[in-house]
Each structure stands twice: as structure tokens, then as C-alpha cells.
Amino acid sequence: MYETSDIRKNVKLKIDGNPYVVVDFQFVKPGKGQAFTRVKMKNMITGNVLERTYKSGERLEKADMEERQMTYLYPEGEDYVFMDSQSYDQVRLSAEQLGENKFYLLDNLPVSILFYDGTPIGVTPPIFIELQVVETEPGFKGDTSGNIQKPCTLSTGLKTTVPLFVNQDEWIKVDTRTGEYVERVKK
Amino acid sequence: MPPAAPRSPIEVVRRQPPASRARIGGRVVATDDGADVRLGDGASGGGTALVHDVTGTLEVRCSPVPLLGSWVVCEGLWDGMRLIETACRVVSVPDGPFPRPGGDFAWAHAEGGRRLRNLLGRAAVLRAIRAFFDQRAFTEVETPLAVPSPGLDLHLDALEVVGAGAPRWLGTSPEYQMKRLLAAGLPRIYQIGRCFRRGELGQRHHPEFTMLEWYRSFAGMQEVMRDTEELVAHVARSLHDGATVVPAREGLLDLTPPWERLTLAEAFDRYAGTRLDDALASEEHFFRLLTERVEPQLGRGRPTFLTGWPASMASLARLDPQQPGIAERVEAFVDGMELSNGFSELIDAQEQRARLLRDQRERAALGKEVYPIDERFLDALSEGIPPSGGNALGVDRLVMLVLRAAHIDDVVAIPPARL
């Protein structure tokens, strides 16, 4: 259990049976009055934002979250299958649960799977992964500044932008937190 | 007007006529080894150091260029723009890279040195407060911080002092001691001092903060309100070249007296969507509505005095002789922020004892620490104090207001998290 004084950004709470992560909080107290903590939090499954005000000293349930290192295996229908390389346990996540992260699933990619009360609810890929450019306008040789970008499509279907000097079939490093180009890599 | 801040050496130099000799001390915050062609003054073998003191930086041409972060004393020729032909004596050198990440210099100088400037602004606010009260023949007093009773307010918890030889706590307000000074024969007093409230930490709260408290004899709540609005307008004028209109969260805030007077009942009708009497059915419900719906709307565009507090929340205020259900208590709100809490003081010793006993019972019922009753305070009341008005105003919040800072951390010398 948490107390209101334990509330910090990124603390995970169980509210009405759902996992929430604290995105902001504020201590409020009239000089001569009762103290409260106003908490803004995000549902870790739906992404919905909730605001609640708790009386100081009120106890809040911790969300039982666990992260396990697993490997991505293959897509199956609408789902994506992952395996725990130690126990060989397999879990499935839907495309909806994966969101943008489905564009980073390379075969045998080591990922971290987030479990809530024992149920998988999301995946965190490595921060940087390398993907091939499958479609983009031809590059301009002279430009190496990287200040101007053009749209492109990557091997997994991810659409992003790259500097003008990047050509089709070349490989680039992508930041999976933002989906943005980091640098060109030689393969 | 408060006395002007002393000028820093760099300011003095800037006012000197060109071609005069000048001497400054400060810290080297940037260096250039002389390769920079923009200087173009033909000087060779030297470079430029940017030397910082509290009000700004000065360019210094010297050879050799001191190490970044060194403290230096520089003597050179002022050419109207910078010091040239300067001899720099290094008096202290940083041990390691400069500025140290997370260090005090980096923290104070982040965001263009905003926090350092805020400390200068804070000093100006303190000077303005003292000038205001001194002009009105108030006596500045200092009462002890470690006291035998920190106050019995239900919602204030104190920090205990260990090793004092007697039960002592750090005061949550200097109220008891200041009222003893009224009994002692000082009719107008003010104090700028530290108060301590356990567990209060947030954007507008520190467990240790600065309170301005003043008492005016032969007066009551009406005079307290006038003192408050005149004081805040005076502080604003002192910091904003005579202006009493300052920027707010949204738009402008006009601090010119007189401020709006609003009763708690009117405020609830206007902002809470519930009548005050219904809200008061549960104390928790009342404070929820007050903090969530009412307070954020108070004092926007123009400050508000909130009056008409129910007798159950009288604290140390006397009850209105015409309406005994109402306490003569007033809180000032500025731009959605509580700034002060004042009373027509309760001066009846018996009534005061009854309230303190009730406060003790309520604290016990909630399982909270029950602090002793300050008998010397009650003695002072029974010996007699004149009818008086008093107010307690959060100085950190006043500084936030006139310097437009959103977080109390940004207006104090060292915030709790950096201790």
C-alpha cells in the first residue's frame, strides 16, 4: 500500500481494479484546513487520464506490476506471440495492446513484457533498433546536414522521416520511444 | 521606498568613464583563448574571460586566461565595454569540471539565472515589508522558534525539538508569543520569521517557510484588511517601478486597494455549486470543495478577502458580537492562492482556554499528537491585551506573486529537496 505522501511521478496505482501510472501530482492545503493530494494518472491499458483528490494519509493500493524479459516469436492472426527464453512460457498480445510498438518487432527481438496481476498488458522494445528503408524519394548527394527531412517507410511498415541523404534499401537506427530517425547505419 | 540594494563591483565599473582603472572580483563563467577573430583588436597572446558577479558578467581581456570556474580578482583598464590589459589574480580554483552538474552554481544559474535573480528580488521584498511597517511605527520583534506549545490547530502538525531539556516544538506560527508582547505593552508589532509545519511539501508549501505576522492594537479585521492590501500594493510598487498591476497566471492582476470583500457563503454560491451550509455538513466535503472549486477562482484579476467564516472555524478569532455564528476571520487570496489569514483577535482568556481544550480533544479523537496548552499565553490574555487585529502572511508566496514564480522552490535560498 502507498500513502499519499509516497505519491511521485511514475508510481503505479491500482484504481477500481485498473493499473494507473501517476503523471502529475500536487499537494494542496488551505492554511488552516485539511490537506489533500491531487493526482493525475493514466490508465496503463486504455491510456485514459483520470484525476482524483485524496485526503492526506489516505492509503492507496499499489498496482502489482512485473516486467519480464522475453523474445518476440511471430504474428498469429491478430496477435503477436512472445516467449520467455528460460521457462519457454508463451504469451500473446493483440495489435491494439502493442500500439506503435508493433512496428519494432523483429524476429527474435529481446523485449520486456509488462504484466499486471499476472496478465501481459504491454511491451517495451529496446530503445534503439535498426530497420531498413523500403520506400523513399531518391537522396540528394550534396546534403549531409540532416536539417531537412523527407518521408519514408521502413521494413516493418513504420512511417517516419529521414534526412535527404538517406536512400532506399539503406539501414537506419530508430528511437522506439519516439519513432524518430537517429542515424544511418552500414550493413 | 526601501533603501536601494548595494551596487555590485561590476555595476560600479559600468558607470565609470572609459580609460579609467577598475578592479572587480568574480567567477570565470566562460573563456575564449583569443582565437576568436571577432575581437579584432590586435592584441595577441591573450584571450577573453567572462567574469560573473551577482548582477551580471563583464568581459575581461587578459593573458593568461584563467581556468573556467576560477574565482578571480581582476584589475585593468575600462574601455567603456570591457576590461583590457587586465591582470587576473586567481584566488580559488574548482576541483573538477565546472559547472558541476547538480551543483549549486548550476542550479542557481539554470534558465538564464532566474533563481539567482529571484533571491535578489526576495531581498527587495523583505526590505519593502520592513520599510512599510517601520513607516507606520510598528516595532520589529523576534520571538523564539522552539516553544512549549506549537499551536493546537487540528490540521497543523509540528516538528519536535529533541534535546532541549524540556518539551519543545518548532512553532507553526509565532501567535502565542506575539500576543504576549501585546500584553507586555508593544501596541504595534511585526515579525518576519520561520515557521515549521510537518508534512507540508508542494508547489506552494515547504515544511519550513517564512511568515510575516503583525498585530495592531485598538483595531480589528477591517484594519487588518486595509494593512494587507496596502502592504501588498507597496511591495508590488517597490519591485515594479511604482506599478500595482502585475502579470498573473492568465492576464493581469490589479493589486491596487481596495480589494474585493467576499463572504464564504457568497463564494460557495458563486463557485462551488453548493450552498455553504450544505457543504459544512462534512468537514472533508467542505475542504474538498474549497480547494478544488472555490480557491482557484478567488483573487483572479483582483485579490479577494474571504470573510464570514463559521464559528466552528474561528481558530483564534473572536466571534462577531452581532452574529455569534460567524468568526471575525479573514483570508486573502491572490490569483487563486491563499496569501494570508487574519483575525479580530480573541482576547478573552476563558473562551480561549475552552477552545484550546476542545482543540486538544479533537486532536486526540483523530489520533494526532496532543500538544500542551501554553499557560503563559493564557496568563497574558487574562492579564489583559487590547482589542487587536492580527494577520499572518506567507512571505514566500508574496515573493512568488511579485516575481511571477510558479514554484516555491524557485524563490528560496535552498529548497528542502536540495538540503
Q: What is the pLDDT of residues B86-138, one digit of tens each?
A: 999 999 999 988 999 899 999 999 888 899 999 999 999 999 999 999 999 99
- The set of cell numbers assigned to B334 is 491572490
Distance CA A85, CA B125 (A): 64
Nearest residue in A to B295, CA atom: A30
- Residue B3 pLDDT grade (very low, low, confident, very high; cuts 50, 70, 90): very low
Distance CA B291, CA A18 (A): 27
Q: How many Cα atoms are found within 13 Å in the side-chain-facing hemisphere of B13?
A: 29
- Check residue B35 and give its pLDDT: 53
- Average pLDDT on B400-409 reads 95
CA dist A132 to A144, A176, A177, Å? 19, 14, 18
Span B142-183, pLDDT tens digits: 999 999 999 999 999 999 999 999 999 999 999 999 999 999
The average confidence (pLDDT) of chain B is: 93
Beta strands in B68-207 (DSSP E): 71-78, 83-92, 139-140, 146-147, 159-161, 168-170, 188-196
- Average pLDDT on B276-299 reads 94
- Residue B400 pLDDT grade (very low, low, confident, very high; cuts 50, 70, 90): very high
- Average pLDDT on B377-391 reads 98
- Check residue B4 and give its pLDDT: 55
- Check residue B206 and give its pLDDT: 97
The reply to whether residue A27 touches residue B338, judged by beta carbons under 8 angstroms, is no
Main-chain phi, psi angles of B20, to 5 degrees: -100, 160
**pTM of the shown model:** 0.83
- The set of cell numbers assigned to B230 is 496596502
- Check residue B340 and give its pLDDT: 98
- Centre a 10 Å sphere on the Cβ of residue A56 and count the other Cβ atoms it contains: 18
Q: Give the contacts of B14 (CB within 8 A, at least 6 positions apart).
A: B58
Give the residue with greater pLDDT, A165 vs B245. B245
b/e string for B102-124 if b means 16 or more Cβ within 10 A?
A: eeebebbbeeeeebbebbebbeb
- The set of cell numbers assigned to A187 is 550493413
Lowest mean pLDDT among A132-136, A140-144, A177-181, B1-5: B1-5
Find the CB nearest B287 among A26, A33, A38: A33
Mutate to test the interface with B, among A8, A9, A29, A52 (most CBs of B within 10 A): A29
Distance CA B196, CA B207 (A): 5
* Pairing of β B20-32 and β A159-163: unpaired
- Average pLDDT on A5-14 reads 90
A-B Cβ pairs (cutoff 8 Å, strict): 52
Q: Give the contacts of A144 (CB within 8 A, at least 6 positions apart).
A: A163, A165
Highest-pLDDT range among A116-125, B108-117, B366-375: B366-375
- Check residue A164 and give its pLDDT: 86
* Chain A residues closer than 8 Å to B292 by CB: 38, 53
* Chain B residues closer than 8 Å to A32 by CB: 153, 155-156, 313, 315, 341
Specify the amino acid at residue B11. E
CA dist B158 to A55, A187, B164, B241, B368, Å? 19, 65, 15, 40, 11
Highest-pLDDT range among A90-94, A120-124, B238-242, B378-382: B378-382
The reply to whether residue A33 touches residue B288, judged by beta carbons under 8 angstroms, is no
The reply to whether residue B155 touches residue A5, judged by beta carbons under 8 angstroms, is no
Span B181-237, pLDDT tens digits: 999 999 999 999 999 999 999 999 999 999 999 999 999 999 999 999 999 999 999
- Average pLDDT on A55-82 reads 92
Distance CA B75, CA B407 (A): 40
Give the residue with greater pLDDT, A186 vs B387. B387
- Check residue A142 and give its pLDDT: 60
- Check residue B111 and give its pLDDT: 86
Span B27-84, pLDDT tens digits: 999 888 755 444 444 445 678 999 998 878 899 999 899 999 999 999 999 999 999 9
Lowest mean pLDDT among A53-67, A117-131, A132-146: A132-146
ipTM above 0.90, yes or no: no
- Check residue B54 and give its pLDDT: 84
Percent of chain B with pLDDT over 90: 86
Distance CA B162, CA B169 (A): 8
Contact between B182 and B188 (Cβ < 8 Å): no
The answer, yes or no, to whether residue B1 has pLDDT greater than 80, is no
Give the residue with greater pLDDT, B337 vs B110. B337
Largest CA distance in chain A: 69
Q: First-to-last CA distance in chain B?
A: 35
Contact between A53 and A24 (Cβ < 8 Å): no
- Check residue A103 and give its pLDDT: 93
| CB burial of residue A105 (10 Å; 0-12, 13-18, 19+) | buried
The reply to whether residue B200 touches residue A29, judged by beta carbons under 8 angstroms, is yes
Residue pointed to by grid coordinates 498573473: B248
- Check residue B254 and give its pLDDT: 97
- The set of cell numbers assigned to B134 is 517601520
Give chain A's contact residues with B (Cβ, < 8 Å). 5, 26-36, 38, 53, 55-56
Find the CB nearest A26 among B202, B290, B338: B202
